[in-house]
Amino acid sequence: MAETARHHEPRYGIRPTMKDVAARAGVGLKTVSRVVNGEAGVTPDTERRVTEAIDALGFRRNDSARVLRKGRTASIGLVLEDLADPFYGPLSRAIEEVARAHGALLINGSSAEDADREQELVLAFCARRVDGLIVIPAGGDHRYLEPEIKAGVATVFVDRPAGRIDADAVLSDSFGGAREGVAHLVAHGHRRIGFIGDQPRIHTATERLRGYRAAMEEAGLEVADAWVALGSTEPERVRAAAEAMLSGPEPVTAIFAGNNRVTVTAVRVLAGREHPVALVGFDDIELADLLGITVISQDSATLGRTAAERLFRRLDGVDEAPARVVLPTTLIARGSGEIPPPPGA
């Protein structure tokens, strides 16, 4: 924030305060407060005078001061990975709706999958004294949150569990979903199936890999090292990983994509292939139906809503042990599973 050197800032537009309203209406400060808050015990006549003064001056209550006095901010903080990711938009929106129903506002921040930035955001929110926090963790150690939670900041983790502390978490069934998706490929006759997932430090990535391995094992299939690739979801890396497992000595005939970003790039890679390769992806993506992509769908809005409801239950005083809620995923089978070449190509 640019720091101006001036000390007495010229106060751009001075805002009227309750004091100003009181003076103009010829009443006491507290009476204005009562009118503004709709408290009982004000004569209609007095109320009218105050209301007129408010309108005349364009007064609007300063919630900063109110917050300071009352201790509650009626706001919650949401830290997620990247608001631009289509998975997080609906999640954020769902949380906002629940917050709105509880009269709270939502502050959100993107961690960009960086643990330091996550912590920075979380602590900034705490400094603002948000009533509660919903966190999609980037880091693996949340002990830094312990004093805040002890101080009364309700906290719920979403999509991935907290690290090193005991806290509420609302998750999707990554293991089960991946297992089901891979089993689907097996059922369609595939024997050599590749797995491309996110970075191994991310809980969902390893869980989905676990699901993949479980499904393969259950089918009595060996997994070659070359078939598994965990790492960044940058398009170049995904492309390289996919091409590697498609061209090795034991080329895969199907790929399981660990999340929506991987799926998108994988679709592009596979669309250019001569021999069709099947694809199943974790997370539904727009227009996947038209491309015939089978997916393991997790409803990010439900994830968000569930977490937010849990948060507000805590804020309403419900005091139970932290729990882990796991929401089921849905396999949506579409088309043959092979990606057609792009039209006009």
Partner DNA sequence: CATTCACCTGACAACGTTGTCCAGGGCCTA
Partner DNA sequence: TAGGCCCTGGACAACGTTGTCAGGTGAATG
The structure tokens 């948000």 sit at 130
> Is residue 143 part of the contact set for its own copies (CB under 8 A)?
no
Subset of residues 53 to 112 that bind DNA, contact rule: CB under 7 A: 59, 61-62, 65-66, 68-71
> Is residue 123 part of the contact set for DNA (CB under 7 A)?
no
Sequence-separated contacts (24+) of 120-123 with Cβ below 8 Å: 121/77, 121/79, 122/77, 122/79, 122/148, 123/148
Beta-carbon-side half-sphere exposure of residue 330 (alpha carbons within 13 Å): 8
> Is residue 225 part of the contact set for its own copies (CB under 8 A)?
no
Residue 42 interacts, among DNA, its own copies, none and using kind-specific CB cut-offs from 5 to 8 Å, with: DNA
> Is residue 15 part of the contact set for DNA (CB under 7 A)?
yes
Size of the site for its own copies (CB under 8 A): 83
> Is residue 164 part of the contact set for DNA (CB under 7 A)?
no
- The first and second tokens of residue 51, run together, are 């209301």
Q: Contact region for DNA (CB under 7 A) — 32-40, 265-273, 276-284, 312-320?
A: 32-40
| Residues facing residue 80 across a β-bridge | 110
Q: How far is the CB of 36 from its own copies (least distance, A)?
A: 11
Q: Which is nearer to DNA, 45 or 236 (CB)?
A: 45
Q: How far apart are CA 227 and CA 213, in angstroms?
A: 11
Q: How far apart are CA 37 and CA 167, in angstroms?
A: 36
Q: How far apart are CA 91 and CA 85, in angstroms?
A: 10
Q: How far apart are CA 280 and CA 86, in angstroms?
A: 18
Q: Which is nearer to DNA, 54 or 136 (CB)?
A: 54
Identified binder of its own copies from the candidate list 140, 235, 248, 292, rule CB under 8 A: 292
> Is residue 239 part of the contact set for its own copies (CB under 8 A)?
no
Q: How far apart are CA 155 and CA 308, in angstroms?
A: 10
Residue 45 interacts, among DNA, its own copies, none and using kind-specific CB cut-offs from 5 to 8 Å, with: DNA
Per CB under 7 A, residues contacting DNA are: 7-8, 15, 17-19, 22, 26-31, 33-34, 36-37, 40-43, 45-46, 59, 61-62, 65-66, 68-71
